[in-house]
Amino acid sequence: MRILVAGGAGYIGSHTIVELYTKGHTVVCVDNLYNAKLSAIKNVEKIVKKQIPFYKVDCCDKKKLETVFKKEKFDAVIMFQGYKAVGESVKIPIKYYRNNLDSALTIIELMDKYNVHNIMFSSSATVYGKNAKSPIKETDDALRLNDITNPYGETKAMIEKILMDKAAADSKFKAVILRYFNPVGAHESALIGEDPNGIPNNLMPYIAKVATGKLPYLNVYGNDYKTKDGTGVRDYIHVVDLAKGHVAALKCYKSKKQNLFVYNLGTGNGTSVLDLVKAYEKANKLKVKYKIVGRRAGDVDKLYCKPTKANKELGWMAKLDIESMCESSYNFENKK
Ligand code: WQD
């Protein structure tokens, strides 16, 4: 299939492009490079040994994005684009709503105009809200906008709703919604990985900076949660497994029975902050200094999924373990 990857220069997007090429698909990548670097696409080209058509386009810019739809033909669109920092979204909510909703609506309208009927959306476990009980199943009553803890998560839930309503109104339109748990790690080449600008918000890239001496120590946000060691538990999934989940989900477009698909992409295992620190130290034979500090607003005790629906229906299962997540994260950070 020929696929438009919106936000393809980003962390998940770049790893997904690698796996798409590995399975014989071809890609056109659009990205405004607001939170990504063109070097990521160049490195993807090195890995897949192919030229990747790239357009520096902001997906909110309908006129400019339309030139890409005019020039290229697509069988499907994968939407990775969007702002994604939970804490930042609380501070600048309107920027998040404008950018994330506007870019998604612009893409969907252009898909309609150019007869592209297959979409895949990068959603997040955050849509389950703070009261969800782990292990979380897709059938749980998600999209309870009232108990999602941040505007970032609400934009994800709203875009899911937009896709569900569009699929209900248009049987030709096929939407696949993938709810990521906590993507971490990097491609084995260490050419691409998680490379946020500035101080990382997320745990794994922060540990990577401490492990490589770029930051003095990790702040562990609270050790009084209802978990085995008091620190937050999450479902960490290797970004390569996550990328493969997208390729596996392409089979949904062949379905004659339904045109809306929702899957959790996670391992089903919960790992605490301190467990991850220990795994990082063991995998890379080093010490990670940390300090226990107060809780971070919006955090929940536990968040991990039941991945059985994706396992069964997509024939996909996360295979890479915590050790390889930690090793690949360190190798990438060290090589940057
Ligand atoms: C994990 C655990 C923290 C940083 C978010 C988004 C989700 C997705 C992944 C985009 C928690 C603890 C963290 C630190 C710490 N983002 N922590 N010190 O919050 O589970 O999920 O990122 O798609 O949508 O919600 O990920 O890595 O920030 O936190 O102790 O410096 O690590 O309290 O328990 P989170 P995270």
CATH number, position 43:
3.40.50.720
Average pLDDT over residues 125-140: 87
What is the pLDDT, as a whole number, of residue 157? 94
User: Would you state the structure tokens that stand for residue 51, as one six-digit string?
Assistant: 């030229």
pLDDT at 281 over 90: yes
Q: What is the Cα–Cα distance from 198 to 325, expressed in whole angstroms?
A: 22
Task: Look at residue 94 and tell me whether its pLDDT is greater than 70.
Answer: yes
According to the model, what pLDDT value does residue 10 have?
96
Does residue 304 lie in a domain region?
Answer: no
In a domain, 114, yes or no: yes
Q: What average pLDDT does the segment 152-178 reach? A: 97
Q: β-pairing, 233-234 with 271-272? A: antiparallel
**234 CA distance to ligand 1 middle (Å):** 8
For range 48-55, the mean pLDDT: 98
CA of 202 to the centre of ligand 1 (A): 5
- In the predicted model, is pLDDT for residue 273 greater than 90? yes
**How far from the centroid of its chain's Cα atoms is residue 242's Cα?**
8
Judge residue 223's burial from the number of C-beta atoms within 10 Å of its C-beta, 0-12 exposed, 13-18 middle, 19 or more buried: middle
Could you give phi then psi for residue 282, rounded to 5 degrees?
-70, -45
pLDDT at 145: 56
What is the domain count for the chain? 1
Alpha helices in 93-191 (DSSP H): 93-113, 151-169
pLDDT on residue 293: 98
The CA 305 to ligand 1 mean position distance, Å, reads: 15
Which pLDDT tens digit goes with each residue over 240-259?
Answer: 999 999 999 999 999 999 99
Nearest CA to ligand 1 atom 26: 202
pLDDT at 284 over 60: yes
At 233, the pLDDT band (50, 70, 90 cuts) reads very high
For residue 59, the CA-to-ligand 1 centroid distance in Å is 27
Instruction: Tell me the residue range of the domain where 157 lies.
Output: 2-184+236-266
How far is Cα 31 from Cα 7, in angstroms, rounded to an integer? 5
pLDDT of 4 reads 98
**Whose alpha carbon is nearest atom 8 of ligand 1?**
182
Residues facing residue 218 across a β-bridge:
290
Give the pLDDT band of residue 140 (cuts 50, 70, 90): low
CA–centroid distance, 197 to ligand 1, in Å, is 16
Mean pLDDT of 204-231: 97
Q: Is the CB of 124 under 6 A from ligand 1?
A: yes
| Residue 169 domain-assigned (yes or no) | yes
Residue-level pLDDT at 250? 98
Q: Provide the pLDDT for residue 297.
A: 80
Name the pLDDT band for 129 (thresholds 50, 70, 90): confident
- Amino acid 152: pLDDT: 94
Q: Does residue 143 have a pLDDT over 70?
A: no
pTM over 0.85: yes
- How many percent of the chain have pLDDT more than 90? 89
* Whole-number pLDDT of residue 144: 61
Q: What is the atom index within ligand 1 of the atom nearest the CA of 183?
A: 9
Task: Tell me which of 3 and 300 has the higher pLDDT.
Answer: 3
How confident is the model at residue 195, as a pLDDT?
Answer: 87
pLDDT digits (tens, 9 = 90+) for 314-330: 999 999 999 999 999 99
Residue 308 included in any domain: no
**CA–CA gap between residue 96 and residue 153 (Å, rounded):** 10
Q: What is the pLDDT of residue 131?
A: 82
Q: Is 261 left (phi over 0), alpha (psi -120 to 50) or beta?
A: beta
Asked if residue 193 is part of any domain, the answer here is no
Alpha helices in 197-321, H assignment, sequence order: 203-211, 239-249, 273-284, 308-314
- Tokens 């994968």 locate to 78
Domain membership of residue 88 (yes or no) is yes
Residue 146 domain flag: yes
With residues binned 3-state (H G I as helix, E B as strand, rest as coil), the percentages for the chain, rounded to 5, are 45, 20, 40
**Per residue in 187-214, pLDDT tens?**
999 999 998 778 998 999 999 999 999 9
> Is the CB of residue 149 below 6 angstroms from any atom belonging to ligand 1?
no
Q: Does residue 53 form part of some domain?
A: yes
pLDDT at 146: 62
**If you take atom 18 of ligand 1, which residue's CA is the nearest one?**
220
Q: Is the CB of 206 under 6 A from ligand 1?
A: yes
Summarize the confidence of residues 107-113 as an average pLDDT.
98
Total H helices, total E strands in the chain: 11, 14
State whether the beta carbon of 232 lies less than 6 angstroms from ligand 1: yes
pLDDT the model gives residue 82: 97
Which residues are part of the catalytic machinery?
A: 152
Quote the tokens at residue 322.
């915590």
| Mean pLDDT score across all residues of the chain | 95
pLDDT above 70 coverage of the chain, percent: 98
